Amino acid sequence: MRDHPDADAQLPPVWKGRATNRVQWLFALVGAACLALGIALAVDSAWTSGIAALVMSVVGCIAAGLLVLFGTLAFVHVDLKLDRECLEVRCGHMGLPRRRIPLSHVAGADFAAHVTPRQWGGWGYRWRPEKGTAVVVRRGEGIVLRLWDGHTFTITVDNAESAVRLIRDRLRTIRPGTAG
């Protein structure tokens, strides 16, 4: 991280960042295929082994397809919005899950050059007792927020270094536990 003497003049009132993982679309296609298989079995089935086996196959394929489809689409990308009072993280096209963290709850911010899904146990909204909480949608740079309650929150986002610089600047004017 580099400190710039004229950093105050360069700071935007609202900073927006995003990280995208195009590989998740492949998993979404697998989910859509399972869903289509379940529908095809239900509509056009010549299953002679009994109705119970057919129902279990249809329900299983549809459930697996929906779970994979919606589970992956929720983490195709993450959007981060940082204004003067809070940091807001939204995942996927619907913006869910969503987390809003007031800057008065943030003790500090650090730049992480290499955040990987392997460190967190996969993609998505993650929690690990020894590490804290994270939103990981791809491998790469990220922001690590240290909260006043002792927890950490990590977000993978492009141009994380400028976001950390902005968070640190905003934290100089905010007292812990205040509204802003």
Pick left, alpha or beta for residue 121 (phi over 0 → left; psi -120 to 50 → alpha; otherwise beta).
Answer: left
Give the predicted TM-score (pTM) of the model.
Answer: 0.76
21 within 8 A of 142, measured Cβ to Cβ: no
**Helix residue ranges per DSSP H, the chain:** 7-10, 23-43, 51-73, 117-120, 160-171
What are the mean pLDDT values of the chain's consecutive 10-residue runs (180 residues total)? Answer: 48 86 85 92 79 88 91 86 93 86 95 94 89 92 94 95 93 69
115 within 8 A of 154, measured Cβ to Cβ: yes
Output the pLDDT for position 131: 87
Output the pLDDT for position 4: 45
Output the pLDDT for position 26: 86
Output the pLDDT for position 101: 95
- For residue 166, count CB atoms less than 10 angstroms from its CB and return exposed for 0-12, middle for 13-18, buried for 19 or more: buried
Q: Distance from CA of residue 27 to its chain's centroid?
A: 16
Closest by Cα among 112, 103, 105 to 170:
103
Dist CA 170 CA 165 (whole Å): 9
Output the pLDDT for position 177: 61
21 within 8 A of 45, measured Cβ to Cβ: no
Dist CA 106 CA 84 (whole Å): 13
Output the pLDDT for position 9: 52
Q: What is the dihedral of CA 137, 138, 142, 144, to 10 degrees?
A: 50
